[in-house]
């Protein structure tokens, strides 16, 4: 198991850098056969075992990242702060920014994707196609172009992405829906070149939120080595 790294800690919460490949918690009330972030938390911060809506399976965990997405997560260390963080997420007072490398040359400097997302019938995949989805929910994603790249005639774009809602696979589904799937995304990227990546190029890079009323904190996590190495393979464009 590649362990998470604690970036910040106080008496109320942890800010962790989750590595790609680490499952946050088991699903459906069934213990995972692999070691999860939840297991690591209960071993290293046993107080989280009494924190949350379901502390047995999600100790102190207020939100989640996909297994193969790296980056920042917040974990509450007491029940009062869990409720506080939960309220911030529900009222969209926590600003999350991800870095995503996508296929193709994104023309716009910035854009807003407003497409309803639902579960594709008979599949674990999400989709924006209303005719083949169920449990539809509105979803909004803002993106800003950081840099364009090329490699052997292929075009790529690095985006800063800020989801305004929190749907499962939202960023991956929305970017694929506009013809720019995330590099390395096995579920939504089709058979495009992964540039040698074993996972999708998606990293939760910053979180900004009021740690208490009137006091805002911004926490950042650098790109991990596999994603840095991927960028080094590419040629920047003007």
CB under 8 Å to 38, separation ≥6 — which residues? 24, 25, 26, 57, 58, 59, 61
Distance in angstroms (rounded) separating the CA atoms of residues 73 and 65 = 8
Nearest residue to 53 (alpha-carbon basis) of 11, 15, 82: 82
Question: Could you give the C-alpha distances from 9 to 44, 76, 164, 219, 230, in angstroms and in order?
Answer: 13, 10, 26, 11, 31
Distance in angstroms (rounded) separating the CA atoms of residues 3 and 10 = 20
Q: Is 94 exposed, middle or buried (0-12, 13-18, 19+ CB in 10 A)?
A: middle
Query: Sign of the C-alpha dihedral, residues 144, 86, 221, 33?
Result: negative
Q: Are 37 and 24 in contact (CB under 8 A)?
A: yes
Catalytic residue among 39, 66, 68, 185: 66
131 tagged catalytic: no
Catalogue the active-site residues.
66
């Amino acid at each position: 198991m590649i362990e998470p790294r604690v970036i910040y800690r106080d008496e109320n919460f942890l800010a962790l850098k989750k590595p790609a490949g680490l499952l946050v918690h088991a699903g459906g009330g069934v213990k995972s056969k692999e070691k999860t972030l939840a297991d690591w938390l209960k071993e290293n911060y046993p107080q989280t075992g009494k924190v949350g809506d379901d502390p047995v399976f999600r100790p102190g965990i207020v939100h989640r990242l996909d297994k193969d997405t790296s980056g920042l997560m917040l974990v509450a260390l007491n029940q009062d702060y869990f409720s506080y963080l939960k309220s911030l997420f529900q009222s969209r007072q926590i600003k999350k920014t991800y870095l995503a490398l996508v296929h193709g040359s994104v023309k716009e400097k910035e854009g807003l994707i407003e497409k309803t997302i639902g579960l594709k019938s008979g599949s674990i995949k999400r989709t924006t196609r209303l005719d083949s989805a169920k449990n539809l929910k509105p979803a909004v994603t803002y993106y800003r172009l950081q840099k364009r790249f090329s490699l052997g005639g292929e075009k790529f774009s690095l985006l800063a992405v800020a989801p305004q809602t929190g749907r499962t696979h939202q960023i991956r589904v929305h970017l694929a829906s506009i013809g720019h799937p995330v590099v390395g995304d096995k579920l939504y990227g089709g058979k495009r070149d992964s540039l040698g990546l074993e996972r999708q190029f998606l990293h939760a890079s910053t979180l900004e939120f009021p740690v208490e009323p009137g006091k805002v904190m911004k926490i950042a996590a650098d790109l991990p080595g596999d994603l840095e190495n991927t960028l080094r393979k590419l040629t920047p464009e003007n």
